[in-house]
Structure 1
Amino acid sequence: MEIVQKKGSVKHTFTLHDNYFNFAFKDKSGSDDVDINYADLPKKSSIQIEENEWLRNVGYLWMVLGLGSSIYKYFTGNVFAGSFWFWIGLGCVLFATYSKIKYTVFKTEKGSIFIIQDDKHGYLVNELKERRLNQLRSWYADINPENDLETEIGKFEWLGQQGALSKEEVGNKIAQVQMLHNQNVSSETLN
């Protein structure tokens, strides 16, 4: 499945495969792509806003100059003063506001994943999180009898913290591990 997000000169492409996804981006600074396992996606994200602050601030300055000029024209009747700068400034502020991009950012070992907050954002984030939990369950939810008791209990508690297992499932897995560990200890003492 491929999901493409575009805003202005920024283009992000997410290609979702069974065990991993590819994040490709292209913007005015360059392009790149990276393959990431769903399980490597962190539980928490941050928000980053990309905007042209210089253009916005210059727009506000021109709007103030335009208002000042209009006020001056009103009181003096000067024909050369006018609100021209106000409208230029307003245009700059509107363009800066329209071109602002808000991202949800997931930081991974392979780099940051930027998801544009647009109409596809909610679906994409939910799909990535669901696939992450499924992959965590498939990788770690089975009991490994070769691990010691504390390691297995810690693993299942961690899966619960990640949301991959419910509290009930964590309790059941820990009970199974303890039972298996007690059986192994009993058989070792008999030998």
Structure 2
Amino acid sequence: MNYADFPQKSSVQIEQNEWLRNVGYIWIVLGIFQLCYAIYLETSLSGEGFWLAIGTVFVIWAHFSKVKYTVFRSDRGNIFVIQNKKHDQIINELNKRRKAQLLQWYGEVNPDNELENEIQKFKWLVEQKVMTNEEAEQKITQAEFLKKENYVLTSDTLN
């Protein structure tokens, strides 16, 4: 996949162990039921909170074992970036490489293209946040100048 194909829009996906969480909830309910039943029978509560404690540990474990991803969806597949300390650094590097590749491919004026195509190309690069408006205006002016320079007046053309 080329860096130029790296999408700008992203979504967030959270991966978690649902089984661990659900078993924890079941054990919490079982533990509460055991405690309530022991209180109802007026028996000793010793050891009756075991399932409540284990279930609570599992629910906490499930909560802290979540993994968040930033997902960039493209035609060639999805790119998952784990949201950790280096997340922003990774995204910035991908965007920097994307910008460099787009500038390498489309950043210069092509004198063989029509003027309107060149103008649209530089406006598109601004939309892609690869160029600033000022940079694009300079390139458009350069393209206009090249087109005027290559335009030759013939004797049958009025000034």
Does residue 100 of structure 1 match 2:59?
Answer: no
Greater alpha carbon shift after TM alignment, 44-53 vs 68-77 = 68-77
Residue of 12, 28, 47 corresponding to 1:63: 28
1:21 alignment counterpart: none
How do 1:11-160 and structure 2 match up within 5 A?
36-79=1-44, 82-160=48-126
Q: CA deviation at 1:158?
A: 1.0
Structure having the higher helix fraction is 2
1:13 alignment counterpart: none
How many corresponding residue pairs?
154
CA distance in 2, matches of 1:182, 1:141: 20
Q: Which amino acid letter does the alignment assign opposite residue 68 of structure 1? A: F
Does residue 162 of structure 1 match 2:133?
Answer: no
CA distance in 2, matches of 1:87, 1:72: 17
Q: Which amino acid letter does the alignment assign opposite residue 116 of structure 1? A: I
Q: Cα deviations across residues 126-157 of structure 1 (Å, max 9, x unaligned)?
A: 11111111121121100011111221111111
CA distance in 1, matches of 2:113, 2:18: 54
Q: CA deviation at 1:71?
A: 3.2
Aligned residue for 1:190, secondary structure, equals coil
Q: CA deviation at 1:179?
A: 2.5
Q: CA deviation at 1:123?
A: 1.3
2:139 alignment counterpart: 173
2:154 alignment counterpart: 190
CA distance in 2, matches of 1:142, 1:85: 68
CA distance in 1, matches of 2:81, 2:25: 29
Aligned residue for 2:38, secondary structure, equals helix
Give the CA RMSD over aligned residues: 2.1
Q: Which amino acid letter does the alignment assign opposite residue 190 of structure 1? A: T
Structure having the higher strand fraction is 1
Aligned residue for 2:57, secondary structure, equals helix
Q: CA deviation at 1:75?
A: 4.0
Q: CA deviation at 1:116?
A: 0.9
Report % sequence identity: 47
Q: Which amino acid letter does the alignment assign opposite residue 61 of structure 1? A: I
Q: Cα deviations across residues 86-129 of structure 1 (Å, max 9, x unaligned)?
A: 11211221222232111111223321111111122121111111
Q: Which amino acid letter does the alignment assign opposite residue 18 of structure 2? A: E
